[in-house]
Amino acid sequence: MAKYVTVFTAISIAMLLLCGCQEETAKPVKSEEKQPLITQPAEPEAAITQVPEIVTPTEPKKTKTLPDYYDKYAVLLKKYVNDNGMVDYAKLRRKRPEIKNLLDHLAKLDPKTYQSWSKEDKIALWINAYNIQMLNVITKNYPIESSRFMRVLWPPTSIRHVDRNIGGIKKQKFIVMDEEFTLEEIEKRFLRDQFDEPRALLAITHASLSSPIPRNKPYSGNELDKQLDEQVRNFLSSEKGFRIQRNKSVVALSAIFQASWHGKYFVSKYNTNKKFKNYETNQRAVLNFVSKYVSRRNANYLELENYEVAFIKYDWRLNDSSEK
């Protein structure tokens, strides 16, 4: 009997415990006791898996056309042309094989490669080609030979002697892209007609003292606009390029700006009917061009004062810095 009582008691206790658990589980949770879910912000290290690299903006990469040719030409100019545009022709003459090598680069240039270039690269090529050929012609005929009779007409160092001796400096032939050219043709066909870039006419050298100062660095398409502007400003800031004689009411310009030389080639880009109305078309275009590159004071004089335009006598003596 005691055994059954013990079993009954154990069963009763178990049932009581089971009922208590069910009531605890089924007990509803009051809505006001429900807490909103709060998410703690992640630490920066956990939220950012990779720190982005800060890139400083850079200018587009500039490339040189014909880099080997350009670099060799740059070395030659830096060594034999000083900052005043004077050339050591005596020493440069010994480097004629290097000049020939530069001309060979031009001769072998693939026309398809050339056609893929920008307008600026093409203009730079023709300016450089012109100036290299001029160095080639002068060093080939250096020192200058002249007869006693011709020295009565021109100084012994005038390049007019060379011009007379060889039948014209600008008529000497050389090869570019397997085609025959002369300096005269480059000037007319490309710089004047095709590209209509009057500034380039002040970038080609005439190997003379009155010529625009040749740079001792090659022209390049990437820097062409800046280089041409600098070239024009340098020339017009020199006594051989531009002068104002206020006491005489005279504006003197380089003979290069005469209509019979380069003056007429400024008309297409720089002619104006708004200023310089008292001057003929060629002079009006040249004055408009010049006024953009001289000081504000000089530009005001050109635009507002009355004056006569004159041209400076051209000095054809060789721009030679060689020790005599």
**For residue 234, is pLDDT > 90?**
yes
The pLDDT, as a whole number, for residue 64 is 63
97 and 212 inside one domain: yes
**Within 13 Å and on the Cβ side, how many CA atoms surround 210?**
16
72 and 156 inside one domain: yes
Higher pLDDT, residue 263 or 60: 263
Is 234 part of any domain? no
- Look at the chain and report how many structural domains it folds into: 2
Is 229 part of any domain? no
pLDDT tens readout for residues 255-270 = 999 999 999 999 999 9
Is 14 part of any domain? no
Angstrom distance (rounded) from CA 118 to CA 114: 9
Is 35 part of any domain? no
Is 165 part of any domain? yes
81 and 203 inside one domain: yes
Q: Residue 66: pLDDT band by 50, 70, 90 thresholds? A: confident
109 and 182 inside one domain: yes
Q: Which of 172, 192, 224 corresponds to the end of one domain?
A: 224
**Residue 251 CB: number of other CB atoms within 10 A?**
21
- Which structural domain, as residue segments, surrounds residue 100? 67-224
For residues 118-135, average pLDDT: 99
* % of the chain surpassing 70 pLDDT: 80
72 and 220 inside one domain: yes
168 and 254 inside one domain: no
96 and 212 inside one domain: yes
Is 115 part of any domain? yes
Q: Which of 190, 224, 258 corresponds to the end of one domain?
A: 224
Q: Let me know: does 208 contact 316? Beta carbons within 8 Å.
A: yes
Closest CA to 126 of 77, 79, 85, 174: 174
In angstroms, the Cα distances linking 286 to 119, 213, 282 are 24, 19, 6
Q: Which of 224, 252, 273 corresponds to the end of one domain?
A: 224
92 and 177 inside one domain: yes
Q: Residue 63: pLDDT band by 50, 70, 90 thresholds? A: low
**For residue 2, is pLDDT > 70?**
no
pLDDT tens readout for residues 178-217 = 999 999 999 999 999 999 999 999 999 999 999 999 999 9
Question: At 315, is the secondary structure helix, strand, or coil?
Answer: coil
266 and 124 inside one domain: no
213 and 282 inside one domain: no
* Residues paired with 317 in a beta bridge: 158
For residues 278-300, average pLDDT: 98
The pLDDT, as a whole number, for residue 55 is 45
85: tokens are 């545009």
pTM for this one? 0.81
Angstrom distance (rounded) from CA 102 to CA 115: 20
Instruction: Write phi, then psi, for 252 (nearest 5 degrees).
Output: -105, 130
Is 289 part of any domain? yes
What integer best gives the mean pLDDT of the chain? Answer: 87
For residues 131-150, average pLDDT: 98
Is 170 part of any domain? yes
Question: At 244, is the secondary structure helix, strand, or coil?
Answer: strand
118 and 172 inside one domain: yes
**For residue 224, is pLDDT > 50?**
yes
214 and 166 inside one domain: yes
Kindly state the DSSP code that residue 319 receives in the 8-state scheme: -
pLDDT tens readout for residues 146-157 = 999 999 999 999
